[in-house]
Amino acid sequence: MLLQKAPKNSLAFLLDAAKGDAFETTFEKELMKRLQRGVELLFSDSFRKGIEYIRGTGFGFTPSGDDFICGLLLGLRVAERIYGVNLSSTCAEIYEASIGDNLISNAFLACAKEGAVFEKIRSLGPCAIR
């Protein structure tokens, strides 16, 4: 369902390579490559470098790369609840690397770092945060 409803030029190509076909111009293709490289670095031993690649990158009022980082931070907060581990230092490091020039993105990132979410996310169930 997520992939079917994903808007054009979203980061859905990270889950389904065929979604990358929506990136048509040279700029869009280079953007896609940068985001792919950032995610590869993020999930390797260079996660800070990956965050720096992704930060501020993408389409939208809050760039899709910043939205991805917010999702990562929220996912880590959920993992804390599920597995009973403390990932606050990892979240803080990701947050520090993700701060950019977009004040709205920075506010969302700060909330995600703390696990603060709006009601629709909170209502997802017992492992939802705050």
pLDDT tens for residues 70-100?
999 999 999 999 999 999 999 999 999 999 9
Higher pLDDT, 3 or 123: 3
Evaluate whether residue 57 is within a structural domain: yes
Evaluate whether residue 89 is within a structural domain: yes
Evaluate whether residue 79 is within a structural domain: yes
Residue 125's pLDDT is 65
Q: For residue 5, what pLDDT band results from cuts at 50, 70 and 90?
A: confident
Residue 93's pLDDT is 95
Listed as own residue / partner, the contacts of 84-93 with beta carbons closer than 8 Å and 24 or more positions apart are: 93/48
Evaluate whether residue 127 is within a structural domain: no
Given a cut of 90, whether residue 40 has pLDDT beyond it is yes
* pTM for the structure as a whole: 0.89
